[in-house]
Amino acid sequence: MKARARAAGEDIIDFGMGNPDQPTPAHIVEKLVETVANPKTHRYSNSRGIPGLRKAFSEYYERRFNVSIDPEKEAIVTLGSKEGLANLASAVTSPGDVILVPNPSYPIHQFGFIIAEAAVRNIPVTPDETFFEALELAVQHSVPKPRMIVINYPNNPTAEVVDLAFYERVVDFCRFHEIYVLSDLAYSEIYFDNNPPPSILQVKGAKDIAVEFTSMSKTYSMPGWRIGFGAGNPALIAALTRIKSYLDYGAFTPIQVAAAAALNGPQDCVDDIRALYKDRRDVLIEGLQGAGWDVPSPPATMFAWAPIPPAFKHLGSLEFSKLLLREAQVAVAPGIGFGEHGNDFVRFAFVENKHRSRQAIRSIKSFLDNYDQVIADAEKHRAEVR
Ligand SMILES: Cc1ncc(COP(=O)(O)O)c(C=O)c1O
């Protein structure tokens, strides 16, 4: 629909995909250009990542989380974290294994394991008591018992965050029940209000059961470069290393050298990226609230998880998104795309600038003002006829 509307000359403001729009910082691009001129870098690279990048990544964990990662045994470079998540799933899963996955979730969390023929059992995302009750029930009622759990905070799509105490409880539970943990920390650096998200690897004993994925895509605006990392449990890292040794030769060496330069170099570019998303968040949330749409302000990630306004809720997220696109020329991601428990929501990604966001808010306001009434009247009429 979006492509058709654009082809017909409509100006669609697109909050649909979490695809960072900012250029990669210049010093990182320069390092790539400088390195690519050296023909030695044109050969096959190293499937688990060049040593310099694994070292730079381990130093990041030390600096940021005070966690020591052995770059030889506990770290791997992946072709974006998505590739690592998917290949780890197929490396460690046998058909019929029970895997606990939140719903809604970033699609590869479910589908990595579905492709590996696992039996996926859904758990809630919201990190409260119901989450731990669901874990207890899953252990009691799953045959065979769960083998792995996926967690992702700051969360895509809900933007929920957790503190270290939550991870401590998860590690305690999973160590006791011998369940591996796959933590996705793709938004480690995209947080607001001075509250950096913790890593599960900060918990004592976490490395016995947990592996964690992080990404360069959002932190350094490098989505197209395809560099991510896995860290943690040496057996899980070894399994991923083994399967990747059959599948790929690693990212192009100049990309890995430039990624190491990003991690080792000045970090003010990360502050700038964070500030940009915060600014956009504030404009969008304030504007949507002013337009009568009560959307909570996310504490982290580049997403707002917006409950469908009550008058439109019965449409479901896909039909509502299509209506918004047709009538307001605004594209959002329907929550159903993240799982059935996402169907009462749509997701806005902060990938349009402030000017375009304000333009979108004006058309959303006029859409809500008009359609709210149209739909309410239609429902009233239907109730009367009944
Ligand atoms: C939660 C989450 N994990 C992983 C990814 C994938 O990131 P990468 O570019 O590192 O593959 C994304 C991208 O949107 C994401 O939102």
Cα of 314 from ligand 1 centre, angstroms:
30
- 101-147 tens-digit pLDDT: 999 999 999 999 999 999 999 999 999 999 999 999 999 999 999 99
Could you state, in order of their start, the residue ranges of all structural domains in the chain?
A: 2-18+269-385, 26-264
Residue 157 in contact with ligand 1 by CB distance below 6 A = no
Same fold, 2-18+269-385 and 26-264: no
User: Does the C-beta of 106 come closer than 6 Å to ligand 1?
Assistant: yes
Ranges of the chain with pLDDT below 50: none
Give the separation between CA 202 and CA 69, rounded to whole angstroms: 11
pTM of this structure: 0.96
User: Both ends of the chain: CA-CA distance in Å?
Assistant: 35
Ligand 1, residue 215: give the atom nearest the CA: 10
CATH no. of 26-264: 3.40.640.10
Each residue's pLDDT tens digit, 293-339: 999 999 999 999 999 999 999 999 999 999 999 999 999 999 999 99
- Kindly state which CATH superfamily the domain 2-18+269-385 is placed in: Aspartate Aminotransferase, domain 1 (3.90.1150.10)
- CB distance 82 to ligand 1 below 6 Å: yes
Ligand 1 pocket mutation pick from 76, 78, 81 by most atoms within 8 angstroms of CB: 81
Residue pointed to by tokens 């375009």: 356
Ligand 1 nearest-atom number relative to CA 228: 10
Q: Residue 356's pLDDT is what? A: 97
- Determine whether the shortest distance from the Cβ of 31 to ligand 1 is under 6 A: no
Q: Is the CB of 184 under 6 A from ligand 1?
A: yes
Query: Distance, CA 224 to ligand 1 centroid (Å)?
Result: 11
Q: Hey, whose CA ends up nearest to atom 16 of ligand 1?
A: 156
CA-nearest residue for atom 3, ligand 1, is 186
Q: Which amino acid residue places its CA nearest to atom 14 of ligand 1? A: 18
Ligand 1 pocket test, candidate residues 156, 191, 226, most atoms within 8 A of CB: 156
What does the pLDDT read at residue 377?
A: 72
Q: Whose CA is nearest to atom 6 of ligand 1?
A: 82
Which ligand 1 atom lies nearest to the CA of residue 18? 14
Ligand 1 contacts CB of residue 233 (under 6 A): no
Please give the structure tokens belonging to residue 196. 């950096």
| Contact 329 CB / ligand 1 (< 6 Å) | no
CA 215 to chain centre: 10
Q: Tell me the DSSP string of 145-185.
A: PP-EEEE-SS-TTT-----HHHHHHHHHHHHHHT-EEEEE-
SS3 per residue for 89-129: HHHHCCCCCEEEEECCCCHHHHHHHHHCCCEEEEECCCCCH
Give, using CA atoms, the residue closest to atom 15 of ligand 1: 186
25: left (phi over 0), alpha (psi -120 to 50) or beta: beta
Q: Do 152 and 183 form a contact (C-beta atoms < 8 A)?
A: yes
Read off φ and ψ for residue 290, nearest 5 degrees. Answer: -65, -30
Do 236 and 180 form a contact (C-beta atoms < 8 A)? Answer: yes
